[in-house]
Amino acid sequence: MSEVVNYTREGNIGVITVNYPPVNALSQAVRSGLVAALEHGQKDAEAKVLLLVCEGRTFIAGADIREFGKPMQEPGLPAVVEQFENSDKPVVAAIHGTALGGGLETALGCHYRIALSSAKVGLPEVKLGLLPGAGGTQRLPRLAGAQKALEMITTGEFVAAKDALAFGIVDAVDESNDVKAAGIAYAQKLADEGKPVRRVRDLTDRIEADKGSDVFDQFRSALQKKARGQLSPFKCVDAVEAAFNLPFAEGMKRERELFMECMDSPQRAGLVHAFFAERQVSKVKGLPKDTPVRDVSSVGVIGAGTMGGGIAMNFANVGIPVTIVEMKQEALDKGLGIIRKNYENSAKKGRITQKQVEDRMALITGSLNYDEFKNVDLVIEAVFENMAVKKEIFAKLDSVCKPGAILATNTSTLDIDEIASATNRPEDVVGMHFFSPANVMKLLENVRGSKTSDEVKATVMAVAKKIKKVGVMVGNCHGFVGNRMLHKRGAEAMALVNEGATPQQVDKVLTDLGYPMGQFAMADLAGIDVGYRIREEMRNAGEDVAPSWMDKLAEQNRLGQKTMAGVYKYEEGSRKPIPDPEVERLIGDFRKEQGITPREITDQEILERCMYVMVNEAAKILEEGIADRALDIDVVWIYGYGFPAYLGGPMFWADQIGLDVILAAVEKYHREVGADYWEPAPLLKQLVADGKKFGDL
């Protein structure tokens, strides 16, 4: 037998066991092992029913993603699944953990399926820029009908075992946690009852029922909005529709063609890069895997504003009590009110129950007194960006908090070491930079100061996981990784408007690339005062920050969405940015004041200046060791700023454009625009000279 798949017999049940840690992915070895074990079972005269089951933490979690983009090695998965379906002896799949992608497709090739109640099933290929390519688009609709199959295949969302039972995807659910015993008992029952093989490909009821339905067009039009710019979700609909219009064998051929179109697309490459990058970032360079982690079972938050409130929610969501301290009762009441409103809204949308609203609110306490932080394990400061205020707060925390408590700041730009210098325990001070809205955005940029201890670094990475964020460890500098790049893009976006572009033109170029919103719509969301304060802070520190039309917005109290006017104007109850002639006038006046004659600016120039400026800055960030790897920067942008994952992140994107093309443009803008940040990064020059990419580092 193969090393990863073996065949044994228990009474009259032939047991095929996959054992390929960590997730039993369908590598070539597993595929050929499955075929060999199945053949063994066919020949074993004592075996009446065959059982497919997996060792370890999960049933097969899909194709082996590491094999994508390489030449396919026989046997192909569709053929393996077909062989299981062709078996003359009934085959049962017993599912635990997650049966995903090719894993679920293999189970659908079996004649019966039983799942532990804790198990989940799904076809998440779309999240990798693919569609199910081993019969999933043809077999799932035969069990679950068009609507459910389209939902699962176009979203990639997992379905719990009991729902899978209701949808007809599995035939039985077992409450135990012993998948092998449950599988054998179920197989035995089928053997005793003399149940015949039941091939999904031959089922026609659901196909007949949904043939000609308009559900396919409904999905297509919904995707126009939800999956703008993406290829695979639309191909998923085409493939599922083929199950209803074509005989099974032809439907399989159609699925293969569509699958290969997706497999060969750059979007697939980008999404697979993002998949592995997300997993890599948890392995921090230079931080040993066995670094001890401190227990964090209570948290303090300073500031009940938008950020502080959002941060607190993350902890309450996972059952960790949080104390929020504010300066004034009124601000505290307002903040707690907003948190409740956010939870109530989630409950209205059916995302959580009313009981969960109350349970989570019960975990959040407000106070005006720092003494409440005496016993907490972690405090996160989330007040506005002002160094003097932050230092005062940290000195106070140092005197109140117990030894071993982690003192974190949510600053988005300021020097962690200077903040830490206000305490006698700089080793316990760290940055935990959440992204707005903090209860939604998945990124947590953890910033190490020069004295932050390994234990504290490991703990904040573990905290990220605990609160279901993607933690990325970065170094200390103005703006860290994300905002340092964003500020350069922001400066260019502002300059482009100075020179003649409109804010909406700049934003459209960015949203056309795939960003969920442009630079200026984002500024309105975050608050125009945030950028204004940062620029003022820099001016106070003696830096040369050019005057800007955006400062004038702040001075006129056009602070963005919260005042219903910023770069754009907003209508009551809507977040849709509307271009405002008043702002156009303000920009016109500013140009006159500065003696600028506006010129026509092309979309290509906007794209290059907004994107290449970030790539050039990112190369400097890498060189300085602020980011450990290019992939860390990609993950920061995908999860912190909604950079489209199908482009793989800005560094992966840059590699596709070609670093030589980017360097030539950077050199041109350095000459023409002249700002210091256009100075070409030495690393970028080096990579171009060596004919290398960021991905080669």
- Catalytic center residues: 105, 125
Closest to 429 measured CA to CA, from 437, 421, 439: 421
Is residue 263 within the footprint of ligand 3HC (CB under 6 A)? Answer: no
Nearer to ligand 3HC, 98 or 409 (CB): 98
Q: Least separation, in Å, of the C-beta of 277 and ligand 3HC?
A: 10
CA distance 357 to 315: 13
Tell me how many degrees the CA angle 639-294-381 measures, rounded to the nearest 5. Answer: 55
Q: Least separation, in Å, of the C-beta of 62 and ligand 3HC?
A: 2
Is residue 274 within the footprint of ligand 3HC (CB under 6 A)? Answer: no
Closest to 283 measured CA to CA, from 461, 148, 142, 160: 461
Is residue 61 within the footprint of ligand 3HC (CB under 6 A)? Answer: yes
Q: Least separation, in Å, of the C-beta of 671 and ligand 3HC?
A: 44
Nearer to ligand 3HC, 233 or 479 (CB): 233
Amino acid at 37: A
The answer to whether 247 touches 253, Cβ cutoff 8 Å, is: no
Is residue 124 within the footprint of ligand 3HC (CB under 6 A)? Answer: yes
CA distance 273 to 621: 20
Would you give the binding string for ligand 3HC spanning residues 71-100, x where CB under 6 A is met? ------x--------------------x-x
CA distance 227 to 126: 11
Q: Is the dihedral of CA 411, 413, 415, 416 positive or negative?
A: positive
CA distance 171 to 173: 7
For tokens 């910033």, what's the residue? 447
From the list 132-140, 144-152, 539-547, 549-557, the region that binds ligand 3HC by CB under 6 A is: 132-140
From the list 124-132, 250-258, 313-321, 666-674, the region that binds ligand 3HC by CB under 6 A is: 124-132
Is residue 65 within the footprint of ligand 3HC (CB under 6 A)? Answer: yes
| Site for ligand 3HC, residues 429 to 468, rule: CB under 6 A | none
For tokens 């990064």, what's the residue? 681
The answer to whether 379 touches 405, Cβ cutoff 8 Å, is: yes
CA distance 20 to 278: 22
Is residue 277 within the footprint of ligand 3HC (CB under 6 A)? Answer: no
Q: Least separation, in Å, of the C-beta of 364 and ligand 3HC?
A: 28
| Site for ligand 3HC, residues 278 to 317, rule: CB under 6 A | 279
Q: Name the DSSP letter for residue 201.
A: G
Q: What are the backbone angles phi and psi of residue 255, rounded to the nearest 5°? A: -55, -45
Nearer to ligand 3HC, 231 or 534 (CB): 231
Omega before 598 cis (within 30°)? no
Is residue 125 within the footprint of ligand 3HC (CB under 6 A)? Answer: yes
Nearer to ligand 3HC, 62 or 426 (CB): 62
Is residue 109 within the footprint of ligand 3HC (CB under 6 A)? Answer: no
Is residue 132 within the footprint of ligand 3HC (CB under 6 A)? Answer: yes
User: Residue 217: enclosing H or E segment and its boundaries?
Assistant: helix 215-226
Q: Least separation, in Å, of the C-beta of 28 and ligand 3HC?
A: 12
Is residue 135 within the footprint of ligand 3HC (CB under 6 A)? Answer: no
Nearer to ligand 3HC, 15 or 63 (CB): 63
Size of the site for ligand 3HC (CB under 6 A): 26
CB atoms within 10 A of CB 330: 9
Amino acid at 17: T
From the list 129-137, 313-321, 328-336, 662-670, the region that binds ligand 3HC by CB under 6 A is: 129-137
From the list 7-15, 126-134, 381-389, 625-633, the region that binds ligand 3HC by CB under 6 A is: 126-134
User: Which one of 14, 41, 101, 640 is in contact with ligand 3HC (CB under 6 A)?
Assistant: 101
CA distance 151 to 169: 14
Q: Least separation, in Å, of the C-beta of 624 and ligand 3HC?
A: 27
Is residue 134 within the footprint of ligand 3HC (CB under 6 A)? Answer: yes
CB atoms within 10 A of CB 17: 19
Q: Least separation, in Å, of the C-beta of 129 and ligand 3HC?
A: 10
From the list 3-11, 64-72, 377-385, 605-613, the region that binds ligand 3HC by CB under 6 A is: 64-72
Q: Least separation, in Å, of the C-beta of 176 and ligand 3HC?
A: 21
Nearer to ligand 3HC, 57 or 585 (CB): 57
Cα 39 to the center of its chain, rounded Å = 41
Is residue 129 within the footprint of ligand 3HC (CB under 6 A)? Answer: no
Would you give the binding string for ligand 3HC spanning residues 9-28, x where CB under 6 A is met? -------------xx-x---
Q: Least separation, in Å, of the C-beta of 84 and ligand 3HC?
A: 14
User: Which one of 13, 37, 63, 299 is in contact with ligand 3HC (CB under 6 A)?
Assistant: 63
Largest separation between any pair of C-alpha atoms in the chain: 92
Is residue 66 within the footprint of ligand 3HC (CB under 6 A)? Answer: yes
Q: Name the DSSP letter for residue 162.
A: H
Nearer to ligand 3HC, 14 or 103 (CB): 103
User: Which one of 62, 129, 270, 680 is in contact with ligand 3HC (CB under 6 A)?
Assistant: 62
Q: Least separation, in Å, of the C-beta of 234 and ligand 3HC?
A: 17
Q: Is the dihedral of CA 307, 313, 314, 319 positive or negative?
A: positive
**Tokens of residue 601, six digits:** 């600016």
User: Which one of 14, 33, 102, 503 is in contact with ligand 3HC (CB under 6 A)?
Assistant: 102
For tokens 């198990």, what's the residue? 119
Q: What are the backbone angles phi and psi of residue 38, rounded to the nearest 5°? A: -65, -45
Amino acid at 404: G
Nearer to ligand 3HC, 58 or 616 (CB): 58
Is residue 632 within the footprint of ligand 3HC (CB under 6 A)? Answer: no
Q: Given phi > 0 = left and psi -120 to 50 = alpha, else beta, which region is 658?
A: left
Number of residues written out for the chain: 697
Cα 72 to the center of its chain, rounded Å = 28
Nearer to ligand 3HC, 121 or 182 (CB): 121
CA distance 563 to 528: 10
Contacts of 631 (CB under 8 A, 6+ apart): 273, 276, 277, 280, 281, 649, 651
**Tokens of residue 656, six digits:** 């596709």
The answer to whether 95 touches 113, Cβ cutoff 8 Å, is: yes
Q: Least separation, in Å, of the C-beta of 79 and ligand 3HC?
A: 12
Contacts of 11 (CB under 8 A, 6+ apart): 188
Q: Least separation, in Å, of the C-beta of 23 and ligand 3HC?
A: 4
3-state secondary structure of 16: strand
Is residue 271 within the footprint of ligand 3HC (CB under 6 A)? Answer: no
By the criterion CB under 6 A, which residues form the site for ligand 3HC? Answer: 22-23, 25, 58, 61-66, 77, 98, 100-102, 105, 124-125, 128, 130, 132-134, 136, 276, 279
